[in-house]
Structure 1
Amino acid sequence: MAKYWIGFLGCFFSVWTVSCGQPSPQKQQKVETTSAPQDNAKADLQLIFQVLEEKYQGKTQSRSSLTFKNTGNAPLLATGWKIYFNGSPSYKAKDTNGPIKIESINGDLLHLVPTENFKAIASGDSITVEVVSAGQIINDSRAPYGFYLVWDKEPAKGYTLTTRYVKPTKNAVGWIEAQDIYRQNQNIQNIPEDKLTKVFPTPAQYTKTGSSITLTPATMVTTDPAFANEGKLLSEYLETILGKPNVAQVQEYGKNSIQLNKKPGLGAEGYELQVLPMAIVINATTPAGAFYGIQSLKTLIPPSAYAQKQTSITVDGVQIKDASRFPHRAFMMDVARNFQQKEQVLKVLDLMALYKLNVLHFHLNDDEGWRLEIAGLPELTQVGGRRGHTLDNLQFLQSAYASGPDVNNSTGSGHYTKEDFIEILKYAKARHIKVIPEIETPGHARAAIKAMDARYYRLLNEGKKTEAEQYLLRDLNDKSVYRSVQYWNDNVMDVSMPSTYRFLEKVTDEVLAMYKEAGAPIQTIHFGGDEVPKGVWEKSPSVQALMKKDASIKEIDDLWYYFFNKLNAMLKARKMYLSGWEEVGLRKVRENSKLSYVANPVLAKENVHVDVWNNIGTNSDLAYRMANAGYKVVLTNVTNLYLDLAYQKAYEEPGLYWGGFVDLDKPFYFIPLNYMKNMKVDESNNPIKPGTFAGKEQLTSKGKANIVGLQAPLWSERILSPERQEYMLLPKLLGLAERAWAPDPMWATEPNTAKSEALYTAAWSQFVNTLGKRELPRLNYYHNGFQYRIPTAGALVENGKVLANVQLPGMVIRYTVDGSEPTAQSKVYLGPITEKGTVKLRVFDVTGRGSRVIAVDNR
């Protein structure tokens, strides 16, 4: 998954040696370095970061500048301070004899310290140093961030610094250009709204009848008693746009009513929806089916109805028969790296429900945070759920992912109380969403490890040694040396210790108790299982003792199977099955000194579910190999479904890019049961060469039955606000919803390449028109509105005219030629622009929110 490759690149590139030169502004050398420290420099030192050169020295590394600007009233002294920041440990000063040095602390935390060559910075002056780092900095996700200053005389206190990021002046990394976007959009046809399928995701059978019904505040909702919850939710929804209609548990045909009827034979999630002149009828066998029929009705309602209270709403007549394609349609929300409040979780659950997603994979802990209250283990949230500037990680964890020095930072710190979590579970259950909690083990467990360390020292100081050791997660005498792919050297549980299993059983039982109190279903717990680095456990006395005792553990690698066999048994005893990342079901094989991974046949027989993310390079067929071997597979392919990857290769686009760039089309053209057929570009966005997948394993009939569904994760390393979460989430999540629910499209199974491409182009136009004209306008208001990404305009100059287009028809392109940024009042693009000069273009939605600006020269 994302976290693997970010770390891998950093660890790999950090072996580069960087050479140096020294900037030495003369003005700084005149400053007296014996002046008293400037107290307001705590806030008045500003930093400016800019990439100067990619592929520095012909290597895969970048040379950048970091400018220190003193905006205060007194000099910044040459000594007596450190500046902490988050970034790859590959960051080094370009000049080893220069004014600064950069040192890695742990994880992504580094600090910058002045050397004897640093000269004090006078008020109003600045100094610029150069740094070298691994990889290419395509956008600011690989730039250093989260800077804060700590005075030596006040070592436990940090002061946040303002940092400005300046776009590089040269396009040395192949950023996408306006003409590239134009060519991507040029086959999109503008389809009139009345020609669009008005239910989304696309239903299995859909017929327009030509009639309609008008809903008013007097509309009656009638429901079979089995669908009382669904009727209540429908009534509450109609109240937001019409005023509250009456709800009655009757099954009589009523004038101007919405009826929820129980009908056998429609399946677990199937429904029928008829919009008749006198009534709307939804038939279903189960409450889930009735619920999904209601969601389809919601998308039938015109988006304009959401803008304000309506006195009446006209709904077009349709006949629909529908059911889900996959039973597991999941969104993974990471709240461990950076936290989201309960209210945002509930909002996302409503979004998922609208588009028939039925699994929230809740990533509740990681190295950087533990987010769920566990009774009897207060340190998990008191220590593991908070981040700030710390010298020992005993009161809270160190800063990570730009959470800064303040322990009250709302993204680095936070957790869900027992009451919060139960409320989330109840909310999800009412919307037919299963919540799968993820407890990361044995790696990615630093927050838990440090929390249990704090508990150990607290109880030890109270003279309670036995109790202190009850849930300890590491051997205190372990001298093993390792570095995880996120650069941690202390983030893996010791799987040989009985206390580790006591801890996991305690957490499991407390989680199950919360589900029981909420009345929510739980069939599995996701126990992570990825990215345990080489070197772990090798010098643990506890491990050595276990290996002498247990003959089945012949080498360190065998501890992996020992651990997950025990977790599997623990869950089976509680009538649940084990879920994890793909590594849970893999076994290391060495042939001729070459290491490879194959499906572990032992757990394949145990109903173990694995989320398979890695479809890069030699692992392009890994998901299919595991499904063929007997594992229940959730397709979580990084190249098409990782929502935290940037939409486009542009400096202004937020998001990571280690696994490629994921725009709206990537999840849409994903073919679950034959995804190699439609993979168009590699992780560098280069066209895939013919024959790339020759010899790769395809799904067998048994393997197809083991593909249980799809999942789109949103890792939160760079998600510092609800608005950023929604930007990365939407509209890409709608591509996942379409693929997970709708029937296999014709273009996916058409063997003729030309016909398949033509069918795809028509389907893509239908999809983007539906989003641009119906679903995104709806989401401007649904649950108080979502801050989805508005696409960048495409543009090129042809025969002295500027041509422009947009990915989502229904949105408006506006432009200026006077150098100003386009606003919602600027000229509307209606055809080729003949005006000369620099033409700036920007796309706007119906509320006046705009995209980023692109510019083309028409000279």
Structure 2
Amino acid sequence: MMFKKLLIGICFVLLHVNLIAQNIADKIQVRWKLVETVPSKANPVSRLTLVNLTNESLSCQGWSLWFNFMRRIDPKSIDPKFSITHRNGDLYELEFKNTQMQLPAKGTFEIDFVTLGTIPNYTDAPAGLYVLGKEGKSVETISNYVVEPVVFSREQTLQNLSAQYEENTRLELNNKQQLIIPQPLSVKTSPGKFTLTPKTTLWADAILSAEKDYLNEFMKNTFGFSFSSTDKQNASIKLMHNPKLEAEEYSLNITDKQIEIHSSTSTGAFYALQSVKNLIKGDAWGNKLTGLDLPLLSVKDKPRFGYRGVMVDVARNFHNKQSVLKIIDVMAMYKLNTLHLHLNDDEGWRLQIPTLPELTEVGSRRSVEYFNGLALQPGYGSGAKATEQSFYTESDFVEILKYAAKNHINIIPELETPGHARAAIKSMEMRYRKFMAKGNQQEAEKYLLNDFGDQSVYSSAQHWNDNVMNVTMPSTYRFISLVIDEIGEMYRKAGLKMKTIHLGGDEVPRGAWEKSPKIRTLMDSLKITSVHEVWPYYISKVADLCASKNVALAGWEEMGMVNKGKGMETNPALAKKNIQVDVWNNLIGGKQEDLAYKLANAGYKVVFASANNFYLDLAWKNTYTEPGHTWAGFTNIYKSYSFLPSNYYLTVYEDSKGKKVEPSFFDKKEKLTAKGKENLIGIKAAIWTEKVTTGDRLEYMLFPRVLALAERAWRAETDWEKSGTYNKVVLEKEYASFMNKLGNDELKKLAQLNGGYNFRLPAIGVKIMQNNLVLNTEYPGFDVYYAINGSEPKKYDKPIAYDKSKIYKFKVVQGKREGVETVIGLN
């Protein structure tokens, strides 16, 4: 009887613990704040506060708090009553050392810890919080979570706003407005206008008939009317085939009688039509009109680079088909022609591969089920429970390919290998276990990506210790080959051919492969002594694999590099393998500022994805309310616009930490040779999505900075870009002209297209002048409203009398959208 009572008691306790774990999330609030609020302070102190919302004390037994946090935590800095343990990647567990602890009724626990590095803005805050019962028996999401804002003093606020005001005055250097974005090769204007009306007629050569249909569809959807067809002689708009022009080249002539477009391909005609769309005033878009005025001009145009791209990471946080299609529409408007989709990484696999269903069954799901191998662990705020269908089905991808092709955009899929491959590795582990359970070892090992005997110890850039494929195993190459073939089949279903596959190749961490028996066997067979030499072996193998499939190989810069014991350096030996390298690393102060030029000079085809200028996951500026990464500095639209592809050194004035850089800093850096200039085939922007969890945030980070990329990718090199002739004054005057066009016209179009884009609204500058507050904005075409001490908001139209005892609030307003509130307060 005593044993029975004891057993019942134990069961009651276990049930009680489980119920506590299940219900604890509803009974607490979690708050996070920066205790030290000096902007970008090194190793700041953070505070997690657990608040008991109930009138009863809560037991700390049987549960722990889990969260994602991209920064590293110093475990020695934590109150010994608690522990915060790094599990893997960005996942942490907060535990109570004494499980007999009670969180008092209406009471709090404050847990301070030191964060290594910096916390520059709110997007670095812990995310995806959940409560987990011990042994994973229950899980609940923390819904009541607050990231406390950093409150700056009135003096700090005015200092920041004054600096923004001075930066905004760049617009005053030129009141002219660029006619077309991107700037054509040649434009000659004449007085007068040509008016598009429902009576306007249209004709096209047969080879250009698709663009004729495209123009009519655009006019009908945007303005409510289209053009009737007629013969060539009587047409008001003529799309004419001229085989002498290059593939993307066109001419556009608008007189008071007609519009003539000449091109050798539908692509050239398509770009001519984008220029016509660009000439239509932004205020007209979205209105049902009977007449649209165009200026009279003559344009001759072709692009500077054949590769004009954007890379979108859909692996870290998934972005659905509709988001991709919306991005394609804007890319097409501004003559960008390559969309690089980063489809897999450590935190997700996002494309259905029919032969390997585990890739999406496991690799597209992040949840607490990772304990049993049915999912990946939560990451980047994804939370405890998996979001279903976080991948593109085969039909989704075929639709994306077709839509991109219609808009003259090439999709380059990326299969990240051999590092950044954890999603694939864990998926194939699950496949291995499934077939081993059936007793089928041969099938189990067919696509296995890791060696279970590998005891290597490493930590990747994102703090993973198990994310690198083993490149000695035939199954690794079998896996890569199969995935390439199945993606290629999707292209065929779309009526296309996959021309290029991107196989990643970046950031294999130090320590990987060093304690792998299989790697040691390979090294012995090749008579190599350093694990570093395994790297070019792998690159050569995948290059040959791609060549055998008649598919070009692209990869990140490391594909053209080798470590000879002193860090990564250019590897000329593989330049003849026809590898395109995407070079991001020009981190100012990082000693690889000239890497893109070195690789181009060595014979590699280089696409320059300058982290310094075109990593659009970087925060726009150094303010706590501006989202994004900061490891490579800050990137506003001026910094993107001022990138000069053939000699970007000319416009670098500070390093990634904001420290001034003297021009002599680049004297010993390698310059592009004539051969290197031929090998610089393009530029692209990249957006990594660790902090980009929604479609709105994706659009906010991309636009309008992508328009500056389009300008630099298309526009011809000017005389003043070259060493000895560079003129900053000319650059800034042209920037003002570009921004006038962008703010007054193009962003009004993006506010209408596809129901509107969540582009970043301009920052407000505020300065005290003669005891008045004067305001300006980062780009023109937007209204600012203000309120004083809670008054009804008024539109700003003249200086505001300043009184230190009052609170001033300002907002940029664009239609139904409002910018972040700017407050000059009492503190």
Where on the TM-score scale, by shorter chain, does this alignment land: which range? Answer: over 0.9
Q: Distance in 2 between matches of 1:172 and 1:668?
A: 32
CA contact (8 A) 2:90 2:379 kept: yes
Task: Supply the distance in 2 between the matched residues of 1:343 and 1:187 (Cα, whole angstroms).
Answer: 36
Q: 1:448-463 to 2 correspondence within 5 Å?
A: 448-463=424-439
CA gap 1:154/1:749 in 2 versus in 1, 3 angstroms: closer
SS of the equivalent of 1:717 reads coil
Distance 2:372 2:327 in 1: 32
Other-structure match for 2:270: 291
1:439-478 aligned within 5 A = 439-478=415-454
Question: Any conservation in 2 of the 1:608–1:632 contact (CA below 8 Å)?
Answer: yes
Question: Deviation at 1:443?
Answer: 0.2
2:237 and 2:258 in contact (8 A); partners too: yes
Amino acid at match of 1:852: V
Structure 1 position 364, deviation (Å): 0.3
Which residue pairs with 1:554 in the alignment?
529
Moved more, 842-851 or 781-790: 842-851
Residue 27 of structure 2 is aligned to residue 44 of structure 1: yes
Choose which of 774, 777, 792 in structure 2 pairs with 1:806: 777
Alpha-carbon distance between aligned partners in 1 of 2:125 and 2:520, rounded to the nearest angstrom: 42
Residues 83-122 of structure 1 aligned to structure 2 (within 5 Å): 83-88=65-70, 90-92=72-74, 96-116=78-98, 119-122=101-104
CA contact (8 A) 2:21 2:132 kept: no
Percent identity (aligned): 38
Q: Displacement, 1:744?
A: 2.2
Q: Which moved more, 1:129-138 or 1:152-161?
A: 152-161
Whichever residue aligns with residue 767 of structure 2, its letter is L
CA distance in 1, matches of 2:519, 2:19: 54
Matches within 5 A, 1:222-301: 222-243=203-224, 245=226, 248=229, 252-255=232-235, 257-301=236-280
**2: CA distance between counterparts of 1:845 and 1:562?**
56
Tell me, yes or no, if the aligned pair for 2:21 and 2:139 is still in contact at 8 Å: no
Q: CA deviation at 1:418?
A: 0.8
**Residue 166 of structure 2 is aligned with which of 138, 161, 183?**
183
The structure-2 alpha-carbon separation of the partners of 1:282 and 1:684, relative to structure 1 and needing over 3 Å to count, comes to same
Q: In structure 2, which of residues 728, 744, 751 is the aligned counterpart of residue 780 of structure 1? A: 751
Cα contact 1:92–1:101 (8 A) shared by 2: no
Residue 757 of structure 1 deviates from its aligned partner by 2.3
Distance 1:35 1:283 in 2: 73
Determine if contact 1:803/1:833 at 8 Å carries over to the other structure: yes
Deviations along 1:585-622, one digit per CA (max 9) or x if unpaired, are 001133xxxx1332111211222111111112211111
AA at the equivalent of 1:850: E
Q: Is 1:827 equivalent to 2:798 in the alignment? A: no
Work out whether 1:390 is the aligned partner of 2:369: yes
**Contact 2:282–2:749 under 8 Å retained in 1:** yes
Aligned to 1:687: 660
**CA pair 226-72 structure 1, distance change in 2 beyond 3 A:** farther
Partner of 1:577: 552
Q: Deviations over 1:431-455 (max 9, x none)?
A: 1111111100000000000000011
1:732 corresponds to which of 701, 705, 711 = 705
Q: What SS class does the counterpart of residue 781 from structure 2 fall into?
A: coil
* Equivalent residue number for residue 818 of structure 2: 850
- The alpha carbon displacement at 1:498 in A equals 0.4
More deviation, 641-650/183-192: 183-192
Distance 1:635 1:578, change over 3 A: same
Aligned to 1:711: 684
Q: CA deviation at 1:392?
A: 2.3
- Provide the C-alpha distance between the structure 2 equivalents of 1:764 and 1:843, rounded to a whole number of angstroms: 25
Matched, 1:418 2:399: no
Rounded Cα–Cα distance in structure 2 between residues aligned with 1:749 and 1:173: 42
The structural deviation recorded for 1:188 is: 1.7
For 1:173 and 1:571, locate their aligned partners in 2 and report how far apart those are by CA, in whole Å.
Answer: 59
Contact 1:251 1:261 (8 Å CA) reproduced: no
Specify whether residues 496 and 170 from structure 1 end up closer, same or farther in structure 2 by C-alpha distance, changes over 3 A only: same
Q: TM-score, normalised by structure 2?
A: 0.93
Question: Shift of the alpha carbon at 1:848?
Answer: 4.4
Q: Does 1:771 align with 2:742?
A: yes
Partner of 1:327: 306
Relative distance call for 1:687 and 1:337 in structure 2 (3 A) is: same
Counterparts in 2 of 1:540 and 1:853: CA distance versus 1, 3 Å? same
Pairing partner for 2:128 from 142, 146, 162: 146
1:224 and 1:251 in contact (8 A); partners too: no
Q: Residue 219 of structure 2: SS of its match in structure 1?
A: helix
Q: Is the 8 A contact 1:800 1:858 kept in 2?
A: no
Is 1:517 paired with 2:490?
no
Distance 1:789 1:36, change over 3 A: closer
Please list, as runs of the form range in 1=range in 2, the aligned pairs for 1:314-393 lying within 5 A after superposition: 314-392=293-371
Q: Which residue does 1:23 correspond to in 2?
A: none
The verdict on how the C-alpha distance between 1:516 and 1:38 changes in structure 2, with shifts beyond 3 A counting, is closer
Distance 2:26 2:353 in 1: 38
- Alpha-carbon distance in 1 for matches of 2:193, 2:470: 64
Contact 1:604 1:629 in 2 (8 A): yes
SS at match of 2:650: coil
The aligned counterpart of 2:584 is 613
Distance 1:363 1:449, change over 3 A: same
The correspondence for 1:792, drawn from 763, 766, 769, is 763
- Distance in 2 (CA, whole Å) between partners of 1:153 and 1:762 is 64
Contact kept, 8 Å, 1:608 with 1:631, in 2: the verdict is yes
In the superposition, the TM-score normalised over structure 1's length comes to 0.90
User: How far did 1:844 drift?
Assistant: 2.7
Structure 1 residue 481, shift from structure 2 partner: 1.5
For residues 211 and 34 of structure 1, what CA distance do their matches in structure 2 show? 81
Is the 8 Å Cα contact of residues 185 and 806 (structure 1) preserved in structure 2? yes
Q: CA deviation at 1:214?
A: 2.3
- 1:217 aligns to 2:193 (yes or no): no
Could you report, residue by residue, the CA deviation over 1:786-843 in whole angstroms, capped at 9, with x for unpaired residues? 11011211111122121221111221222222246xxxx7222223222424463535
CA contact (8 A) 2:78 2:111 kept: no
* Aligned-partner Cα distance in 2 for 1:423–1:352: 17
The answer for the alignment partner of 1:499 in structure 2 is 475
One-letter amino acid of the structure 1 residue matched with residue 146 of structure 2:
R
Tell me if the contact between 1:530 and 1:581 (Cα under 8 Å) persists in the aligned partners. Answer: yes
Unaligned 5+ segments in structure 2 are 1-15
Distance 2:485 2:305 in 1: 30
The verdict on how the C-alpha distance between 1:36 and 1:73 changes in structure 2, with shifts beyond 3 A counting, is farther
Q: Judge conservation of contact 2:58–2:102 (CA < 8 Å) in 1.
A: yes
Asked if the contact 2:336–2:409 (Cα under 8 Å) also holds between the matched residues in 1, the reply is yes
SS in 1 for 2:489: helix
How many aligned positions are there?
808
Q: Is the 8 A contact 1:94 1:130 kept in 2?
A: no
Secondary structure in structure 1 of the residue aligned to 2:20: coil
Aligned residue in 2 for 1:490: 466
Aligned to 2:281: 302
Q: Hey, what's the Cα distance between the residues in 2 that align with 1:781 and 1:353? A: 16
Say which is worse superposed, 477-486 or 720-729, in terms of deviation: 477-486
Q: Comparing 768-777 with 147-156, which one deviates more in the overlay? A: 147-156
- Per the alignment, do residues 330 and 118 of structure 1 end up closer, same or farther by CA in structure 2, a change over 3 Å counting? farther
Structure 1 residues 120, 95: closer, same or farther in 2, change over 3 A?
Answer: farther
CA contact (8 A) 2:21 2:62 kept: no
Whether contact under 8 Å (2:784, 2:810) holds in the other structure is yes
Q: Decide whether the 8 Å contact of 1:840 with 1:853 is kept in 2.
A: no
| Equivalent pair of 2:66/2:91 in contact (CA under 8 Å) | yes
How far is the alpha carbon of 1:65 from its aligned partner?
Answer: 1.4
Change (3 A) 1:569 1:217: same
